Amino acid sequence: MTNIIIAGAVGLILSMLGTPLAIRLFSRRGYGQEIREEGPSGHHGKRGTPTMGGTVIVLASLLAYGASHLASLEAPTVSGLLVLFLMTGLGAVGFLDDFIKIYKQRSLGLRSGAKALGQLIVGAIFAVLVTQQPNIYDITPAETRLSFLRDFGPSIGLVGFTIWVLIMIVGFSNAVNLTDGLDGLASGATGVVLGAYVLIGNWQLRNNCIDQLGPNCYWVRDPLDLAVVAAAVLGALIGFLWWNAPPAKIFMGDTGSLALGGVLAGLAFTTRTQLLLIILAGLCVIITLSVIIQVGSFKMTGKRVFRMAPLQHHFELKGWAETTIVVRFWLIAMLCAALGLGLFYVEWMPRP
Annotated binding site for Mg(2+): 177, 254
Q: Report which of 238, 235, 209 is spatially closest to residue 223, judged by C-alpha positions.
A: 209
C-alpha–C-alpha distance, residues 111 and 32, integer Å? 20
C-alpha–C-alpha distance, residues 247 and 19, integer Å? 15
Annotated binding site: 177, 254
- Give me the amino acid identity at 164: W
- For 18-53, b/e burial (b = at least 16 CB within 10 A) is bbeebbeebeeeebbbbbeeeebeebeebeebbbbb
C-alpha–C-alpha distance, residues 266 and 246, integer Å? 29
C-alpha–C-alpha distance, residues 127 and 86, integer Å? 10
C-alpha–C-alpha distance, residues 81 and 266, integer Å? 10
Beta strands in the chain (DSSP E): 146-147, 151-152
* Count of C-beta atoms within a 10 Å radius of residue 138: 7
Q: CA geometry: angle at 203 spanning 198 and 207, to 5°? A: 150
Residue 151: strand pairing partners: 147
The separation between CA 316 and the C-alpha centre of its own chain, rounded to angstroms, equals 24
